[in-house]
Amino acid sequence: MPEPTLADVHVDAALTDFSSAFFLDQDSFTWSRFAPIRGVGKQSDKFPVWDRADFFRTEAKKRAPNTEAAVRGAKLSQASYYCDVYAIAFDVSEQIRANSDPAVDVEESAARLLAQDLNLRAELDAASAFLDTASVWGTDQTITTKWADAASTPIENITTGIKTVAKAIGRRPNTLLLGGDVWYDGLLNHPDIIARLPDNAPRIASIDFVANLLGLSQVLVVAAPVNTADEGATASVGFAGGKNAVIAYVDPAPGLASPTAAVSFSWTGLVGASPAGIRTKRMMIPHRDALPRIESDHALDFKVVASAAGYRMAAAVA
């Protein structure tokens, strides 16, 4: 007796409430937390810098009756920034958009992808500026016994950095910036850190535990995945950050007379730019049959503004 087949009773169709993609959440990006954003109206400008040594020298003297107070001064110089503009676009065929299933919103996905592209670019540039470039901080210390080695002393290494920055700027540093490999291959399972866990805690460290252990406000791990292969080639994915670490003082809201280590100057004077410096727009390309184009751009300069407020630990892992 013939019966309907499975193919007869159901025709496969695209789901309307599920799809797979690989968008990163905002917490994946560390650049704006290590170098807080300062919106600026112009692409380039200057800002005043007081001399650090003058602030930590006392020239006060005893004053006899009817005499003048000792007079002192402080040197003032100027530093500058320049916000380079980065842009990326995604063309959306009108026919493709019209024929898309409900679960495939091509334009919305394009806008999210472009924002992620710019954030990844920013994460790479910030890692280069703050983690992987030598001689930008007050101290560069190469780690000889790598933190993946059980005989290494990462807590002592970091404490030395904390003490160095505190002496240099008069503020205890509050932020540890780590390359992804430094966290996963070095600190995550290091016996010196595991030994300090509470007796009833799992035998694996967390970022919050390490921050509390070291007395820091935040530990930032530069671990956003970045594919360095060309389109169409086999993917080669690594972390945006390298094998280095930086201990620094970060003012979460830098303004006048701030001793913060670094700032992300963002050219918000661009029309429509958001406080984070990213703007997205939709335009039609007339010579391509009014092809819709989604375009995003931002303009940033990652600036070390107080080199003494940072201490770099180079080659913390091999």
pLDDT at 273 over 70: no
Quick check: 130 and 168 in contact, CB under 8 A? no
- The Cα-based distances of 80 to 44, 75, 124, 138, 191 in angstroms read 7, 17, 22, 19, 44
Ranges of each domain in the chain: 87-256+307-314
**More confident of the two residues 238 and 288:** 238
pLDDT at 53 over 80: yes
- The Cα-based distances of 176 to 218, 230, 317 in angstroms read 7, 32, 15
Could you tell me the pLDDT band of residue 271, with boundaries at 50, 70 and 90?
low
Q: What is the CATH number of domain 87-256+307-314?
A: 3.90.1690.10
**pLDDT (0 to 100) of residue 57:** 92
Q: What percent of the chain has pLDDT over 90?
A: 77
Structure-token pair, residue 67: 């005499």
**pLDDT (0 to 100) of residue 287:** 77
pLDDT at 12 over 90: no
**pLDDT (0 to 100) of residue 272:** 67
Mean of the per-residue pLDDT values for the chain? Answer: 93
Mean pLDDT along residues 84-99: 89
20 CB neighbour count, 10 Å cutoff: 4
| 0.85 surpassed by pTM | yes
3-state secondary structure of 180: helix
Q: What is the pLDDT of residues 58-87, one digit of tens each?
A: 999 999 999 999 999 999 999 999 999 999
Structure-token pair, residue 148: 């993946």
**pLDDT (0 to 100) of residue 269:** 86
pLDDT at 48 over 70: yes
Q: What is the pLDDT of residues 161-183, one digit of tens each?
A: 999 999 999 999 999 999 999 99
